[in-house]
Amino acid sequence: MEERKMIYLCLAHMSETGEEQKYVKEAFDTNWVVPMGPNVNAFEQSLAEFANGKTDGSKLDRKVVCLSAGTAAVHLALLACGVQPGDEVCVQSFTFCASSHPITYLGATPVFVDSEPTTWNMDPELLEKAILDRKEKTGKYPKAIVPVALYGMPYQVDKIMAIAEKYGIPVVEDAAEGMGSRFNGQVLGTFGRFGVLSFNGNKMITTSGGGALICRQAEDANTVMWYATQARDAYPYYEHTAIGYNYRMSNVCAGIGRGQMTVLDDHIAHHRHVQELYKELLKEVPGVHLHEQPADPRYDSNFWLCAATLDPEVRIQGQENAYKEVIKTAVGGAAGVIKAVDSATTDCQPNENVEALRVFMLGKKVECRPVWKPMHKQPVYKGAPAYLNGVSEELFKVGFCLPAGPYVTDEDVRYVVECIREAIV
């Protein structure tokens, strides 16, 4: 019998027509193997056309700058918002570290805001509380707000934007996981002053790495591009009046991106189909609850990853051995790039049944990863201001992610659900 393939959460999928190879070959044939060039320009144009289109047929006028990573996009967006050493930035706690680390690059302090239980994203009420409390404590408002589209789920855009406008604070939308997700017919990343996209190898489309920044104003796009190309002033020699960065996307990577744009809509449709299939198949599985978008028709998630929760009382095979051994290799992400630890446990971790499910599923060749650990519980951010309601910590204890990428077939989804059934004692 043929050995079953590993079913990963989400892996890049090239277009069947080979458009990526055509544009990459073109880059080599024309010797444009540098962090700029025709592919970069064309990819930016394609991204802008996608971002500017609304479901009602109207058009926005956003500009897009392609960069080396989504993290670089967050960094330059904050820089363009005027974030400086000593400033504070309100950022969602329930997210990947790339949402908050760039705040520290600029010498500023992240102010973590917990989630609301419906979308799992930034709680608007806590955000306003944080803004007012920081003003009282520091004498000034936070310099920016960074909400996140967790696993592709739109956040409460209307409420967050209303609060930002009320206090005159720019918004940097982290839509790295939410490319193609919409709120009220408008693409995420186009509501704030800036919007961040990611083209990492596990995102909706990939350039192998890379990211982009959606800019509301052409002037901001020019500023970001200037900083991304080492902030060189207009002289015939290299003159610098500001610290710049080598953040521009390469022409080769952009060639991959141009080809990937031809399958973006198909990828989004596939992820939504997988979500619906999980919803149907998990209905009768006791104690497992798929995370769904609000019934409000304005919410239109790309379901980059399908997330679920496991009731604490559900017992899983092998649960008695959970956290008995120290992890030796990375779980997901860049395998092998980890720092050795002495203890198998921390003060904030998934429940034993969730960890047991991860191990059981791995034995079945299925990647079943924990949800993001809240940033306010990360040791590196110990002591950072945080405005909490317990939602993200509770979700971290009971949540897990299921495979949803373009390579995941209907047969794979059925197999995944059958494995979950088998895992439950």
Q: What is the pLDDT along the chain (425 residues), one digit of tens a residue?
A: 568 899 999 988 888 888 999 999 999 999 988 888 999 999 999 999 999 999 999 999 999 999 999 999 999 999 999 999 999 999 999 999 999 999 999 999 999 999 999 999 999 999 999 999 999 999 999 999 999 999 999 999 999 999 999 999 999 999 999 999 999 999 999 999 999 999 999 999 999 999 999 999 999 999 999 999 999 999 999 999 999 999 999 999 999 999 999 999 999 999 999 999 999 999 999 999 999 999 999 999 999 999 999 999 999 999 999 999 888 766 655 555 678 888 899 999 999 999 999 999 999 999 999 999 999 999 999 999 999 999 999 999 999 999 999 999 999 999 999 999 999 99
| CA 65/CA 221 separation, integer angstroms | 6
> Do 199 and 68 contact (CB within 8 A), yes or no?
no
Strands 299-300 and 182-183, bridge-based pairing: antiparallel
pTM: 0.96
What architecture does CATH give domain 19-263? 3-Layer(aba) Sandwich (3.40)
Dump the DSSP string for 129-167.
HHHHHHHHHHSS--SEEE-B-GGG----HHHHHHHHHHH
What residue spans define the domains of the chain? 19-263, 265-423
Q: Is 177 helix (H, G, I), strand (E, B) or coil?
A: coil
Q: Considering the domain 265-423 in this protein, what is its CATH number?
A: 3.90.1150.10
| Equal CATH topology for 19-263 and 265-423 | no
